[in-house]
Structure 1
Amino acid sequence: MILQRARFFKSARMISTLVGRPGQVYKPVRVIYKHPNKKPEFNIYLASGKDNTAFVLKPVPRSIFEHSQELKQEFGNVRQIRHHVDEDERKHILVYDYATSNVLEMINDCLPLPLQTRKTILKEVGLALKDMHARNWIHLDVKPDNVFIDWVVNMETKFCLEKVQLGDLDCALKLIGTNLLNQKIGNVMWQSPEGQLGRGMGKHSEVFSFGLLCLFVLTGVESFHPDFESLPIEPERVILHKLLSNFGPLPDALVKHVDDEKGGELLKDLWKMIEEDEERAEGYEPFEQWTETDYPISMWMRRG
């Protein structure tokens, strides 16, 4: 249902009350996410609806608004994908149900989750990607803070997971035939090697990102989170170096797949540097040498 604007403050920095579906009014409460490029007109708001139900108001550019309509039409029946529940067509504002948390917050800030809960989260995200890939869509920004969850603690103080949804589809893209994407998109911490280079991205790249998500959800360790402010070089190079260190050796097929002289040379140079490094720094060990001390998968299994 299209929203009608009730009123707006003179300042473009705050949206005002919106009247939506019959009987539904959304009153902005506070900003919960400031636009990273300091564009206040695209700040995201927590809002109060009927019976004080919480919602999220997300102003977006016209292109993203139209993109969201297409995605909802395509995947509206997929419960594992998060869509808006109301909208303001004239002001390009999307209204979402408020999610209790996201996976990044849950893993970092809450008590350890049971293994079965972690498995359920990953299964639901996997099903969302399966549906998207089956229709030749790719999400392009798979990461923990784009996995939204609703949960409660029941009368027995037991954690109960109610809903898991993959959201923030702003970057999602429908591939044409077998064509691949040659562009850097998404969060560098969760991208595949070809994603770091912006060469040959496709469904396979997203499976790699999903694998990184699995490692994080199961261990609680953000393996590929450098101190961005102190980096002397591009973060893509740092993370690419770590990916090759952890999951090498460098496959010839990857160099061929990237199909870019500069990118291929970078991959080869990084791998040569790794091979010549007799004492790898902490966190750069090969995957088969990871231990429970640093990546405590077994601890969650015992608690599951």
Structure 2
Amino acid sequence: MSTSEEYVGQSGRNYRIERVLQEETFPPRWVGLAITGDQKYILKYIHPVNFEDLEDVNNKLRGRANHVRLSQDTIPKKSMFVFDYLADHLLHLVQKDLPLETTKTILKKALLGIAELHDQDIVHTDIKADNFFIDWNAQENGIHVERVQLGDLEAAAYMPPGSAMVGKQAGNPMWRSPEAHAKGPVTKTSDIFSFALVCIYAVHKRVIFAVGEEELDEGVDPLSIVIERQISYFADEEGITAFLKYLGDDNPWVQVFEIIRDGFDKEHPRKPFSIWKGVDEDFKSLICSMTNFDPAKRITAREALAHKWFEGVE
């Protein structure tokens, strides 16, 4: 697809491709910046297998979600969705060393997007910092946040109460929940665990489960280090016992988690997030309530919005 091409959406709008933002062959991926009059849009190729599912998710949310980036148009013949253009995303914007109050505002709006999804029994399954899109402008007193929207709903799924997605590992390992790593039941609570990691990144500029090459001995799977950190930072005995029961006896990952759990001792102790130095106590409380290893004990998105750490945040 070249920048000279134009496409016509079902709305009748013409989209002229100004710039290709992403292009990959396998798996096929294409994202472009398009212009219609003086408006900018994002055109995104969606694999035909997922096209109808994503359309259904968008339709379930339409009129019910102000903090989710929904499609504005489609180009079915090209298997493309058209989205509003937002200038930045959280993964990048955080590097501007934002004031804490601005960061809180962004995170609250981001969490509202998750809450709007969950209110309609839709689970995102791929919560990460670069899936929160942001419009902002620079003012004399700092950055003013115009809009924050949760995007990239391709992996999202409708899960009515009592249901779960099993066997799927969506997204980057750095942001996944423990049950997603274990191909166990993924539900709304899995989104909440991942969002806690986004919060830590936004506030402390750390992707705590990123594994550098220098940390890898020969033959070591980076995922084993990620799981080790998850257990070290967020699992207590009660929580991991409930988690293993949640996975079920037939899940082959149970043994992996047990071996890693049993590897901690006096020489190699756990490092619970709850006792990290230099972390605000209210923030610790919020994160720990979202990352309980027992998925049943994690707070909901609406409960997180009511947490003391967000008190007074617009």
TM-score for both structures, normalised by structure 1: 0.81
Identify which of 60, 63, 70 aligns with 1:74: 60
- Higher Cα Rg, which structure: 1
Per-residue deviation, 1:30:
2.1
1:159 is the counterpart of 2:143: yes
Asked whether the 8 Å contact 2:4–2:17 carries over to 1, the reply is yes
Aligned to 1:266: 256
Letter in 1 for 2:231: L
Per the alignment, in what secondary structure is the counterpart of residue 145 of structure 2? strand
Distance 1:93 1:289 in 2: 47
Aligned to 2:292: none
* Structure possessing the higher relative contact order (Cα contacts under 8 Å, 6 or more residues apart): 2
Aligned to 1:94: 81
Asked whether the 8 Å contact 1:197–1:236 carries over to 2, the reply is no
Letter in 1 for 2:148: V
Aligned to 1:4: none
What's the Cα RMSD here? 2.7
1:25 is the counterpart of 2:25: no
**For 1:59-86, what per-residue CA distance to the aligned partner results, in whole angstroms no more than 9, with x for missing partners?**
2222332222212211112110101212
Aligned to 2:152: 168
Per-residue deviation, 1:49:
2.3
Distance 2:18 2:130 in 1: 22
Letter in 2 for 1:179: S
Identify which of 215, 220, 224 aligns with 1:237: 224
Report which stretch shifted further, 92-101 or 139-148: 92-101
**For 1:118-171, what per-residue CA distance to the aligned partner results, in whole angstroms no more than 9, with x for missing partners?**
1122212222222222222100000000000000113x2531000000000000
Per-residue deviation, 1:88:
0.9
Asked whether the 8 Å contact 2:15–2:36 carries over to 1, the reply is yes
- Pairing of 1:194-213 with structure 2 (within 5 A): 194-213=179-198
1:43 is the counterpart of 2:30: yes
Per the alignment, in what secondary structure is the counterpart of residue 68 of structure 1? helix
Per-residue deviation, 1:15:
7.6
Distance 1:132 1:21 in 2: 25
- Stretches of structure 2 lacking an aligned partner (at least 5 in a row): 285-312
Identify which of 56, 63, 66 aligns with 2:49: 63
Per the alignment, in what secondary structure is the counterpart of residue 190 of structure 1? coil
Per-residue deviation, 1:177:
4.1
Aligned to 1:247: 234
Distance 1:101 1:243 in 2: 29
Q: CA separation of 1:230/1:219 partners in 2, compared to 1, >3 Å: closer, same or farther?
A: closer
Q: CA separation of 1:55/1:235 partners in 2, compared to 1, >3 Å: closer, same or farther?
A: same
- Stretches of structure 1 lacking an aligned partner (at least 5 in a row): 1-11, 299-303
Identify which of 143, 162, 183 aligns with 1:178: 162
TM-score for both structures, normalised by structure 2: 0.79
Letter in 1 for 2:261: W
Asked whether the 8 Å contact 1:23–1:50 carries over to 2, the reply is no
What is the identity percentage for the equivalent residue pairs of Structure 1 and Structure 2? 28
1:291 is the counterpart of 2:281: no
Distance 2:120 2:72 in 1: 23
Distance 2:255 2:186 in 1: 18
Per the alignment, in what secondary structure is the counterpart of residue 209 of structure 1? helix
Per the alignment, in what secondary structure is the counterpart of residue 33 of structure 1? strand
| Number of aligned positions between the proteins | 276
Q: CA separation of 1:73/1:228 partners in 2, compared to 1, >3 Å: closer, same or farther?
A: farther
Asked whether the 8 Å contact 1:24–1:50 carries over to 2, the reply is no
Aligned to 1:115: 100
Aligned to 1:106: 93
**For 1:89-120, what per-residue CA distance to the aligned partner results, in whole angstroms no more than 9, with x for missing partners?**
22211111211100001113x2x112222112
Aligned to 1:85: 72
Per the alignment, in what secondary structure is the counterpart of residue 85 of structure 1? strand
Distance 1:61 1:134 in 2: 27
Q: CA separation of 1:66/1:160 partners in 2, compared to 1, >3 Å: closer, same or farther?
A: same
